[in-house]
A and B are shown apart, each in its own frame.
Chain A
Amino acid sequence: MDPIESWVDTRELRRMADALLASPPDPEEAAFGTDFVGYEVEGSPSSRPAPRQPATPGEESACSTLAAAREFAQRGGMLEPRAHSPGEPGEAAELTQVTPVAAAGLSPPSPAPPPFISGLRSFGPWLREAVQARSFFLLDRGGGILIDEVRSSKLRQVARTLAQASYTANRQAGTVAVGNLHIKVAPEFVLEVVPVNTRHGPLILGIIVPHPLNSGHVEVVARGLQQVVNVRSQS
């Protein structure tokens, strides 16, 4: 009789068990604990403004979908009404420098970036408006960087580990986001990790925010990202 082997990935099970039995990381390498104050030195969210570029059709499309998501959230009472929309003049100074992988040449030669990358340029300002995000990054499930304003390899690694553990555990959740996790990474900042299923596949959104997001805000953020990615993935 086989009570387990045909039901589970035994290699993955063994890998997780071995990892759990491994010695705890060097305290200097450990991500969290009672004294953890974050990665302020390495991963300080950049505040340098990026030059405002003319909106591409992709960005305009992303703006409209995000506007729809915001309206949905406001009608549902999950967001306060705002005086202006993302992408309007005056917001350029708040933009952090966006370093899409292809543009920054941060990764080895790879296939062309996904079609929704241009739409993510509007997603950052929208996040700042919606949840007071300081900066964000977006990874594919394999950990590939789609966009990264935070520029901390440790935070990306933490987000990926948390998201992968969360994905399977919350597979049956039936919500847009499959479970969010937040961890304090500095005295004033929290890393909010939101795994999101999209037409491009599972993506891992990491957001630096001043406070943990409640479930309503997480839902709004996840829907916003989903709409940006799914709209552009279809074109």
Chain B
Amino acid sequence: MITIAISSQKGGVGKTTVAINLAHAFARSGRRTVLVDSDPQGSVGLSLTRQSRRLSGFYDLIDDPAVCTADLIVPTRLETLSLVPAGQASVYDLKGSAPGAVLRRLRTFLRDLASLDVEICIVDTAAGFFGATGDVLSAANAVMVPQQAEPLGIRSVPKMLEALTRMRIANPQLVVLGVALTMMQSRLPESRDAVQALRAILPPEMVMRTVIPRDDLFIKASARGVPAGVMDGGDPMLGVFDNLRIEVERRLGVTAQF
């Protein structure tokens, strides 16, 4: 199983959108995929299921090691795609636990998923690289960093790289897939210029070729609780995230079999 964290320093850059639609793309390609919501706000659940506020999930397992991983998995209409919501436990603070207890439980959770023949685990994380997100990055195989295709978003890239450098100390095997530019407005020169400027500075391997456009379809899809590609007129988005999936597979060096 390959675990890919979708993380960023800032909020509102499109992490959940990327996580949902990338997981959908992997599942459509035939991979058994689980989308995990490690954001205490429960963004994935709030986007995809009305029951998310009642379901047990990721934080319940972190809080109580007796919780069974298999019991947290929520199936979807797509047989190869399942969810693990954020859950009900609200406090990511194991006072009194031995150092490393949370990370151990997280690793156990991921091993459990792998034993259930999950091939791809996409983890949507909260903004920032500390706390729960730090632990996810310590256990993940790879990280993708969504960033808005806007000057303000691009200017925060240095802090993001510094944080990732720090995370690599704790997880030297972490593969940095790169920056996934989101909310691109092709008709806005400032947005296009921001993309070009970033590509000019960073090595090509650090910036995904696929750019996610700003599109009302994402909001409409969230209102209906489905990935954007499922919506009427969603075929172009299916193509965008299929391309992103293919890029990820290429960067991870994976072939038909993981």
Contacts and interface: CB of A to CB of B under 8 A. Distances in A.
A45 interface: no
Contacts of A161: 165-166, 169
Interface in B18-71: none
Contact of B166 (A7, A33, A165): A165
A88 interface: no
Interface string B240-257: 000000000000000000
Given A4-B201, A5-B201, A30-B172, A162 B166 contact: yes
Contacts of A19: 165
Contact of B173 (A24, A164, A166): A24
Interface string B152-166: 001101110111111
Nearest to A1: B193
A171 to B, nearest CB: 9
A132 to B, nearest CB: 14
B127 interface: no
Given A8-B157, A21-B176, 18 more contacts: A1-B189, A1-B190, A2-B197, A4-B197, A8-B201, A12-B158, A13-B201, A16-B165, A17-B203, A18-B203, A20-B168, A25-B172, A32-B169, A161-B169, A169-B163, A169-B166, A183-B170, A211-B99
A14 B176 contact: no
Given A3-B190, A5-B201, A165-B166, A21 B173 contact: no
Interface in A147-185: 158, 161-162, 164-166, 168-169, 181-184
Interface in B94-121: 99-100, 107
11 contacts: A4-B151, A4-B157, A17-B161, A17-B206, A20-B206, A30-B172, A30-B173, A158-B169, A169-B162, A169-B166, A184-B100
A21 B161 CA distance: 11
A70 to B, nearest CB: 25
Contacts of B168: 20
A136 B15 CA distance: 40
B99 A212 contact: yes
Interface of B: 99-100, 107, 151, 154-155, 157-159, 161-166, 168-176, 189-190, 193-194, 197-198, 201-203, 205-206
Nearest to A167: B162
A190 interface: yes
Given A16-B161, A21-B176, A184-B99, A8 B155 contact: yes
Interface of A: 1-5, 7-10, 12-14, 16-21, 24-25, 30-34, 158, 161-162, 164-166, 168-169, 181-184, 190, 211-212
A161 B168 CA distance: 10
Contact of A7 (B155, B170, B190): B155
Given A17-B206, A32-B171, A34-B107, A4 B176 contact: no
Contacts of B170: 32, 183
A66 B198 CA distance: 48
Interface SS of A by simple majority: mixed
A46 B107 CA distance: 34
A111 B161 CA distance: 34
A16 B162 CA distance: 7
Contact of A13 (B157, B163, B174): B157
A197 B57 CA distance: 41
Contacts of A168: 158-159, 162
Nearest to A5: B197
B130 to A, nearest CB: 9
Contacts of A181: 166
A9 to B, nearest CB: 7
B203 A21 contact: yes
B169 A3 contact: no
B224 to A, nearest CB: 35
Nearest to A15: B161
A25 B175 CA distance: 12
